[in-house]
Amino acid sequence: MSVHEKWLQTLTNMKGVFNDQGIDIQLPPPSQLELQIEYLEVIPGKKIKGRVPFQKRFTNPIKTYQGGFLTAAMDDHFGPLSYITAEKPCTTLSLNTTFLKAFTESMGYCIVEAEVLQKTKSFIFMRATLTSPDGEILAHGESHVAILSDEQLQKVKI
């Protein structure tokens, strides 16, 4: 079984645990499926790494990958990493991306690697790097999330 297949099984198990707690979530999320992310490495509480294929439908007028979709690819690494780190749903407080080089069709795919910088009782701070197949940094970003308390989960009726 590949890392990706094991991760999908983990998501299925997480969904069951959350559902048992009265938390209705959709795992894997539609955005992950739309971006066709293949997870390559998952170390709970530490990092998650995945491959994102180039898709022409997500390009801008000059035929490079549109930055918002690259940010979404990072977010689809931050999200799962935050959930497995907190062992409960989180909500994004900030998501910042800096672009250094275009993701082009000739690259075929890019690699996103997100890591936990610090976890506190209420927050998780993460960083991600998006690279070309040959290791060039295309973009990097940071995300700060709040770990939802049981009281908050009841208010939003997730």
User: Has residue 44 been placed in a domain?
Assistant: yes
Domain count, the chain: 1
**Mean pLDDT across 121-128:** 97
Give the model's confidence band at 156: pLDDT under 50 very low, under 70 low, under 90 confident, else very high: low
Tokens representing 17? Answer: 């645990």
**Residue 64: what pLDDT?**
97
- What size, in residues, is the chain? 158
User: Has residue 140 been placed in a domain?
Assistant: yes
User: Has residue 25 been placed in a domain?
Assistant: no
**CATH code, 60:** 3.10.129.10
Give the model's confidence band at 81: pLDDT under 50 very low, under 70 low, under 90 confident, else very high: very high
Comparison of pLDDT for 129 and 23, the residue scoring more: 129
**Mean pLDDT across 89-96:** 94
Q: Is the pLDDT of residue 158 over 70?
A: no
User: Has residue 13 been placed in a domain?
Assistant: no
Q: Is the pLDDT of residue 16 over 70?
A: yes
User: Has residue 133 been placed in a domain?
Assistant: yes
User: Has residue 4 been placed in a domain?
Assistant: no
What range does the domain containing 44 cover? 30-156
Give the model's confidence band at 157: pLDDT under 50 very low, under 70 low, under 90 confident, else very high: low
Q: Is the pLDDT of residue 88 over 80?
A: yes
| pLDDT tens per residue across span 46-61 | 999 999 999 999 999 9
CA atoms within 13 A on the CB side of 93: 12
Nearest to 10 by CA among 30, 22, 28: 28
User: Has residue 11 been placed in a domain?
Assistant: no
Nearest to 139 by CA among 80, 84, 71: 71
Contact 31, 73 (CB under 8 A): no
- Tell me phi and psi for residue 116, to 5 degrees: -80, 125
